[in-house]
Amino acid sequence: MVAGEWSQFGPLRFGSNTAKYFQEDIELKFFNAYLKDKGKFTQAEATIFNTGTNEWKTFEQWPPAATQAQTLFFQPNGGLTFSAATASESFAEYVSDPSKPVPYTDGIFARRNNEYMIEDQRFAARRPDVLVFQTLPLTEDLTLAGPLTADLFVATTGTDADFVVKLIDVFPDTARSPEPNPKNLQMAGYQRLVRAEVIRGRFRNSFEKPEPFQPGQVAEVKYELPGVLHTFKKGHRLMVQVQSSWFPLVDRNPQTFVDISEAEEKDFVKATLRLYHDAQHPSGLKVTKQ
């Protein structure tokens, strides 16, 4: 019994009922084999939906064997390339204000808006407390298949900070809007969220032993995002956004090293964050190319 239709999510159409395939061809066969002794479950090691091409793919191992780990390095002036940064000193900075956090979605909702997972991120890119890095338009399709790791070299005027890294698929200006289009969505230039994850900076080295930042000193913050299978099509761009709040999905960080559950209003302070992207501090996002 298929629980609902899942052929569309927000403005994105999958071209098939993915729920039906997953439940009948994977879940049902799994439970029949292991709970009812009916038939055999012979699925590959990984069966994953490519969110860029709308295709189910199977892999005998995950990450796939024929992949290559590379890093998308942040560059001056918002560039993003697979070439390491070469500047002797370069950074971008922003002011993070806990009283005006970056929202997780563009709108006001009585309940959580689950479409934030693929939502157009242009509302965030316009904010001064969100850093934006993007590639040139791709000259050929690019598939990422496997883990993602953010590696940030940062400094703050505070003693604690959150870091949110978002991987985004930027549609070309020729992208057509959906028909019908009751929400008047503009797909030209759409910044589709592909993956995102947050880390509370105090846990950058250990979850058991949190530690403060030393104001003004460069620290490395390295953590994993959820894995991905996504094809960025020719003409699209890859974008990475970096910010220090994602409210209310993530509770506000006061940006002082205190017990947040007992933080008082005076503990919530503005902080200036620097993200370095130079030869000595090559911040970027490590990806796995297929």
Average pLDDT over residues 210-218: 98
Lowest mean pLDDT among 170-179, 208-217, 279-288: 170-179
**Residue range 237-283, pLDDT digits in tens:** 999 999 999 999 999 999 999 999 999 999 999 999 999 999 999 99
Residue 273: which of 221, 224, 238, 223 has the closest Cα? 221
Q: Is residue 13 part of a domain?
A: yes
- DSSP state, residue 36: S
**Residue range 219-234, pLDDT digits in tens:** 999 999 999 999 999 9
pLDDT at 3 over 80: no
- Mean pLDDT over each residue of the chain, to the nearest integer: 95
Sequence-ordered list of residues with C-beta below 8 angstroms from that of 259, at least 6 positions apart, any chain? none
Q: In the structure, what pLDDT confidence band is assigned to residue 66 with cuts at 50, 70 and 90?
A: confident
Q: Which two tokens stand for residue 158?
A: 């505070």
E strand residue ranges, the chain: 8-9, 12-13, 46-50, 55-59, 68-74, 80-81, 91-96, 131-134, 142-156, 162-170, 191-200, 219-232, 237-243, 271-276, 284-289
Instruction: Please give the tally of structural domains in the chain.
Output: 2
Q: Which two tokens stand for residue 98?
A: 């806990």
Instruction: State the pLDDT at residue 243.
Output: 98
What backbone torsions phi and psi does residue 5 show, to the nearest 5 degrees? -90, 135
- Judgement on whether residues 170 and 225 belong to the same structural domain of the protein: yes
107 CA to centre of own chain = 20
Residue with tokens 């070309």: 172
Q: Is residue 3 part of a domain?
A: no
Cβ atoms within 10 Å, residue 71? 17
pLDDT at 57 over 50: yes
d(CA 83, CA 138): 15
- Judgement on whether residues 193 and 82 belong to the same structural domain of the protein: yes
d(CA 212, CA 282): 22
- Judgement on whether residues 175 and 213 belong to the same structural domain of the protein: yes
**Residue range 135-171, pLDDT digits in tens:** 999 999 999 999 999 999 999 999 999 999 999 999 9
89 SS3 class? coil
- Judgement on whether residues 40 and 84 belong to the same structural domain of the protein: no
Q: Is residue 2 part of a domain?
A: no
Instruction: State the pLDDT at residue 34.
Output: 94
- Judgement on whether residues 219 and 79 belong to the same structural domain of the protein: yes
- Judgement on whether residues 47 and 130 belong to the same structural domain of the protein: no
Domain containing 206 equals 68-289
- Judgement on whether residues 256 and 283 belong to the same structural domain of the protein: yes
- Judgement on whether residues 123 and 25 belong to the same structural domain of the protein: no
Could you tell me the pTM of the whole model? 0.95
Q: Is residue 1 part of a domain?
A: no
d(CA 86, CA 256): 33
